[in-house]
């Protein structure tokens, strides 16, 4: 089962990267399917392979962000997303290692914040909404705030 979920996440990552490159409207359904697969594998596999699950999630996220950074006419929003997730992930990893607690599960806020961020990013990366403008700028900073808030709430549960 482990390899099935990891293989599926890798395939979805490659598909999403390709869809970002061609700016396809089918990017959002791929994101939705990835999130569904992630939720299902979390329920089936439990904490048994959390490190591999997390690695698959990070490959998907950073692969998409970096692709968007490369192909986008504007690098500004992608840098905010990458920076926000990178800081959050590093702080979470440091806390996990310090507390030696790798069994913290995602709660409703974790899932909904990631769904919101993923939805907005998929709409932006697919060209459904513009890449630039004041709305995008303000929303990018709001997304960074949500990413940090989600990370710090998770840190509280780790401690």
Condensed to tens digits (0 to 9), the pLDDT of residues 83-136 reads: 999 999 999 889 988 988 777 778 889 889 989 999 999 999 999 998 788 888
C-alpha to C-alpha distances, 61 to 4, 56, 97, nearest whole angstrom: 19, 9, 22
Condensed to tens digits (0 to 9), the pLDDT of residues 19-28 reads: 999 999 999 9
Long-range CB contacts (within 8 A, 24+) of 152-159: 152/91, 153/109, 153/110, 154/92, 154/104, 154/106, 154/110, 155/91, 155/92, 155/95, 157/104, 157/107, 158/92, 158/95, 158/96, 158/99, 158/101, 158/104, 159/95, 159/99
Mean pLDDT of 69-95: 89
Mean pLDDT of the chain: 89
- Asked whether residue 48 carries a pLDDT value surpassing 70, the answer given is no
Domain holding 53, by residue range, is: 2-158
Task: Give the closest residue to 61 by CA, choosing from 42, 80, 81.
Answer: 81
Predicted TM-score (pTM) above 0.85: yes
pLDDT of residue 47: 66
Which is more confidently placed, 142 or 43? 142
Q: Work out how many domains the chain is built from and give that number.
A: 1
């Amino acid at each position: 089962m482990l390899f099935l979920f990891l293989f599926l996440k890798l395939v979805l990552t490659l598909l999403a990267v390709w869809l970002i490159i061609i700016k396809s409207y089918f990017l959002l359904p791929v994101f939705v399917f990835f999130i569904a697969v992630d939720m299902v594998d979390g329920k089936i596999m439990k904490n048994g392979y959390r490190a591999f699950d997390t690695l698959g999630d990070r490959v998907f996220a950073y692969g998409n962000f970096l692709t968007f950074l490369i192909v986008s006419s504007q690098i500004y929003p992608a840098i905010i997303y990458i920076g926000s997730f990178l800081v959050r992930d590093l702080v979470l990893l440091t806390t996990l290692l310090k507390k030696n607690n790798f069994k913290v599960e995602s709660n409703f806020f974790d899932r909904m914040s990631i769904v919101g961020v993923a939805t907005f990013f998929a709409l932006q990366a697919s060209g459904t909404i513009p890449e630039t403008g004041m709305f995008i700028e303000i929303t990018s900073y709001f997304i960074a705030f949500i990413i940090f808030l989600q990370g710090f709430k998770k840190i509280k549960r780790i401690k």
